[in-house]
Structure 1
Amino acid sequence: MCPDLVSDTISVLHVSHLSMEGVKTRLPRLEELVLHRVQKSEEFANELMLSCPALRRVELIDCSRSKDLLICGPKLKTFEASAMFEKENLSISISAPNLISFSYISCSTMPYPDEELSALQVHGTRNLRELALDLCMVGMGTIRKAVSQLHLLENLRLKGSPSAERIRITHKNLKHLALTGFKTIALTRFKSLIRVKTQTPNLVSFQYDGPNILVIGPQDSTTLANARLEVDFGVRDKRRSYLKAAKFLRYFGRCDSLTLICKEVKALVLPEEIKSEMLPPLWNVKHLRLHILSNTTGDVDTNSRLTESLRWMSPNLETLVISS
């Protein structure tokens, strides 16, 4: 049990592995609050955010939720919650006019409908620039609604759900989009994802970690400069796999820099009959890095054909790095 916290000088408070139930607080100069595995953390955090006008940063780590979360404060700029345990179908309400970064990631690796947020209210945070949410606990419809209200949003990170099949993102000012969560302890986060639709004309960077080659589009961004893709380019149906890989890569053809991380690379070794049917998909790419997680390229001839294929895909290439 933690003792009462009363001080006119404390500006940073980190609490770990304690119960905060019934703890009295008066911390008028508190600027940073970090709670790690704290019982009744949400009630305690809510109370401090309401009573500490100087609070600028709040972080909850490995805590359980038991009631609705109110994120507020006239000076609050950053709120992060990671490895959160969900207990009920609850809501998050944000009323912090100067909040710049908000992140809420569940500890769950499976989506449970009764644990999804019933509401994510962002009307009180018009200045938010960075948003990170977990598809295991926030439905895509809720995310789209929130994103549409955040006109200054520049950075969006979505942690995957095994059940997510389609993702659609629309935002005219978004610059950075990341779909992450390739590996979990026992599951693949984006194992069902097949299609991503973007209407993000000012997107600068894109990150995707998943097992599937996606159908992605439209190519509405002329500013996309770099991308990082962790995906397996294996061959199942030969012709279809080659064409699907080339079409997927074409979305990133305007990038200056492209990084590919994968176990299987066979679909990147395009045969001549496939090349004859299409234009090089990575026409403007100048810097290409391929990192193979295991030595699957085989003999010298296979390596040579892989290099030749990559150079054909990227005719304006200046730098090519292949490592395993």
Structure 2
Amino acid sequence: MQLLAISFLFITFIIESIICSGYLELHIQSPHIQTAIVNISSNFRTEKSKIVHLKLKSNVPFNVTRIPVNFDNIYNITIKCGKSEEDGKFNSYFKNSTPKYLGLTDTTIVSTVHPRVGLLSPAAVARPLNGIRIVIGCNKNWFGEKCETFCDENKATNSGKHCNFQGKPSCLNGLTGSKCEKLIVPKLCNCENGGVCIDSNPKPICECSKAYRGEKCEKKHISASLSSHYKGDFWNFRMTFWQLIFSNLVENELAEISKSEAWETINNLLGNVSDTPFANRPNNTETFPITGSVNLDNVDII
């Protein structure tokens, strides 16, 4: 009987280990009517790429959801954008009019991600997009930075508790103790940046927002690599040289940071010292090409 019980526990452990997994979600947005191809692939050859063809509406986020990830792999996200079409309000007055384009004919945005549970959203993104957000999460009953800890949510609920982000059954409503009979004293945690002191074993801990991590939520989230390569058509160009070269980086509308932080990041990347975004510009623009790239390598991700 004891051997049977041990075998059952071992099989349960194996099953739980097999289904232990997390997922990746990509949220993107453009101020224009924008066609794009999204390719999400990993460095593991047998893992199939996820390819999505889409057409973005003006300032409407599109979500590529629930892509399974292995936390031991590295993932490459490639967003290849076609011509950037205006929103069509002007063209709607003329039934037979052709779409108007901004002049950006080919833009490729590439991000390399080492998956950890949290939110990755750079302060600045490159045109023709104005929003990128990557969410790494766990499937049901799995918790931890790599979704490595199993906690039965139904079992925890039946005992009047819930599974905290570390995967430990914990008291609700700001309570702690073996019978959830004591109020948590926030000073026990000293959480920063909006973190909340919650019950855990052996002592209360800080639960951080998706933008922060660390014992006291004192650190911004992990870094990632993000780069953009673009081409333009001079004769159909509907942006100025200034906008292409110096304003190619725009505030990320999907980032969870303040606008001042976003502009500070953009100016730092471009080497500006003025408080006015993109203030430092040369007098002669005729020598600037309509091709180029912007690299945000190892930028703090919020």
Q: TM-score range by the shorter chain?
A: under 0.3
Which is richer in strand?
2
The structure showing larger relative contact order (alpha-carbon pairs under 8 Å, at least 6 residues apart) is 2
TM-score of the pair, normalised by structure 1: 0.22
